[in-house]
Structure 1
Amino acid sequence: MSRPYHEGSLAVQTRVGVRDLADHVGRSIGPGIRPVAAAFLELQPMLVLGAQDEGGRVWSSLLTGAPGFVRATGPRSVAVAGGVSAGDPLAATLARAADTPVGTIALDPRSRRRMRLNGTARPGASGLAIAARQVFSNCPKYLQKRELYAPEDGAAARPGAVQRGDRLTPAQQGFVRAADTFFIATVAPGHGADASHRGGNPGFVQVTSPTELAWQDYPGNAMFLTLGNLEADARAGLLFLDWATGTTLQLTGTARTGFTATGRTDRTIRFTVDGVLEHQGASPLRWSAVPEYSPHNPPVIKEG
């Protein structure tokens, strides 16, 4: 098995002073899908996938289906029925026969469990076939608990209008400010892609302009896979989800990490928006609008 960390993650771990802890936690990262992980995947109605499009921009996309649409087909392989929608920014990339580096995360708000699987994807018999390179689970920190409801009727399950742009509209800015969860995709040349989760109380993501967001990087598992990728490559893709309506907001751009003098406890990520895609009712799933917030969420501290 290849080592779990590349130079970017190692640099951040060293700067923050968690190299020994990261080495210990990194032992949980392996290439194989254990039976308990396979069982978890088959129960999930959604999967978030991150990759770069044909123009080199990084996106985070939502895939949904009936439980079982994601399933392990072997100790190091996963099949995803259906794949991304035709209008998704990653559709053309994932349709290529060549292996595409992808990061995925299966997150279950009902149980506050999450699992990440990074590897390569290619078109499969009925969707995507993913070859696993890194498989691991994370703790439930900053995950909000939600109940899952079926769509109210057929119309509610049909996707609506798509809006594209290069900056956030006032309504989209409100969408982001109200969020308690988002997903972030990152890449590192020669090391693949990663998809991760960020959570907090509403307002933890600040909109500082129509083209810039900022959030505090809360203490986590000490791996620093996301910040490590950003250390090597600033490109990133964010996914915000309106849990009650299924509307998705996908942002692509670049991110940079600001450290304090010590760099050990206070880190701020600033994301510059280059592209926006809002899809009304993109997901047929309907979750609790107001969740049970994680007891680990810190108080929101606004800048300025």
Structure 2
Amino acid sequence: MNASVHEGEQAVQRRAGEGREGWGSPMFTADIPPGFAAFMHQQRLVAIAVPDDEGAVWCTVLTGDQGFVDATDDRTIVIHALPPEGDPVRKAFDSRATSRDLGMVVMSPDTSRRVKVNGVARRDRSRLLLRTEQVLGNCPKYLQVRTVTGTGPGHGQTVRTGTELSVEQQRAIALADTFFIGSFSPGHGADANHRGGRPGFVSVTDSRSLAWPDYVGNSFYMTLGNMALNPRCGLAFMDWTTGTTVQLTGTGRIDWSRERAETLPGALRTIEFHIERIVQIDNASPLSWTLHSYSRFSPPVPPKPSGLPEGEP
């Protein structure tokens, strides 16, 4: 994995009219700064993304007590948790592969901070060991403010699979203010990140298709750069009250149409996602979160067309 921007990221930067030669390279480090190590140790939520043996990319959410993400030296992170049974990310680490590219974003919903870590991971009994290749602090844009206000049973899950979204799943996604996205490019590794907006910013086109606006960010285009080289990606939506997760794997496409973007406040372009497989795990996380405020950076969301579920104002 190269610590500098790769050709997919550069291509997206050029198409977007942003960046310059070497843009972003100094922001990455393979080592974990002490401040980042301390930050990660305090957090209770991460999203991780991996490709499976067939090349499908899956993203999942892991939660735990403070300290479940532990930087044991300047290049090693121990994640003292595994996804629940039935989670495709867990299955990926149950395969014969001894190690796997992994992208991770460590979230602090109560302070709107996040740190991204990409590297190579392997399973060690009931934990994951991650060797870091890229470590980056990310901006607070589009992060909603939430705090943990309760715990439930967790891990008493019902797993449901399919290839089309149910009406209930469509409504949950149409009301979501946050999701996580994983991408992967061979030779450049996996990446996980967060997308946020006002409820309704994700459009459910039909039972197998989603779309969302791409807002202004840090111009590194790590997700879109991977997507430019390999369209396979994975999404994870979480019910912040019950801990139920809906994981989607499929393909993403960047729609550069200015006319379409202009219909969505704040959008620079639009991302389309075609669903191939769905995994829903009830009570995947025992944590219950309370929403305190939406990000001040999130643009308003236009009303949904008739017949689609609408988000909150």
Q: Under a length normalisation based on structure 1, what TM-score does the superposition of the two structures give?
A: 0.93
For 1:33, the equivalent position in structure 2 comes to 32
For 1:181, the equivalent position in structure 2 comes to 178
Two-structure CA RMSD over aligned residues (Å): 2.0
Deviations, residues 1-49 of structure 1 (Å, cap 9, x unaligned):
94421111000001111113x8454421110101110001111112111
Q: Secondary structure at the match of 1:12?
A: helix
For 1:170, the equivalent position in structure 2 comes to 167
Q: 1:246 to 1:269 in 2, by over 3 A?
A: same
For 2:92, the equivalent position in structure 1 comes to 93
Structure 2 CA distance, aligned partners of 1:39 and 1:122?
23
Deviation at 1:158, TM superposition (A): 4.4
Of the three residues 284, 287, 295, the one matched with 1:285 is 287
Partner AA of 2:294 in structure 1: Y
Which runs of structure 2 are paired with 1:1-304 in the superposition (5 Å)? 2-20=2-20, 23-95=22-94, 96=96, 98-124=98-124, 126-151=126-151, 156-260=153-257, 266-288=268-290, 290-301=291-302
Deviation at 1:110, TM superposition (A): 0.4
Deviation at 1:300, TM superposition (A): 1.1
Q: 1:302 to 1:218 in 2, by over 3 A?
A: farther
Q: 1:26 to 1:275 in 2, by over 3 A?
A: same
Partner AA of 1:281 in structure 2: N
Deviations, residues 72-97 of structure 1 (Å, cap 9, x unaligned):
01101111113222321022322345
Deviation at 1:132, TM superposition (A): 0.2
Structure 2 CA distance, aligned partners of 1:62 and 1:266?
27
Deviations, residues 176-220 of structure 1 (Å, cap 9, x unaligned):
011000000000011110001000000000001000000010000
For 2:308, the equivalent position in structure 1 comes to none
Deviation at 1:126, TM superposition (A): 4.3
5+ residue gaps in structure 2? 306-313
Deviation at 1:163, TM superposition (A): 1.1
Q: 1:236 to 1:285 in 2, by over 3 A?
A: same
Whether contact under 8 Å (1:97, 1:123) holds in the other structure is: no
Q: 1:186 to 1:302 in 2, by over 3 A?
A: farther
Structure 1 CA distance, aligned partners of 2:192 and 2:60?
10
Q: Secondary structure at the match of 2:293?
A: coil
Whether contact under 8 Å (2:157, 2:282) holds in the other structure is: yes
Q: Secondary structure at the match of 1:219?
A: coil
Whether contact under 8 Å (1:70, 1:79) holds in the other structure is: yes
Deviation at 1:149, TM superposition (A): 1.4
Structure 1 CA distance, aligned partners of 2:231 and 2:196?
21
Deviation at 1:291, TM superposition (A): 3.5
Aligned residues: 299
Structure 2 CA distance, aligned partners of 1:223 and 1:129?
26
Greater Cα offset, 124-133 or 233-242: 124-133
Deviation at 1:253, TM superposition (A): 0.5
Deviation at 1:125, TM superposition (A): 5.5
Q: Under a length normalisation based on structure 2, what TM-score does the superposition of the two structures give?
A: 0.90
Whether contact under 8 Å (1:260, 1:266) holds in the other structure is: no
Identity among equivalent positions (%) equals 41
Greater Cα offset, 252-261 or 93-102: 93-102
5+ residue gaps in structure 1? none
Structure 1 CA distance, aligned partners of 2:282 and 2:208?
21
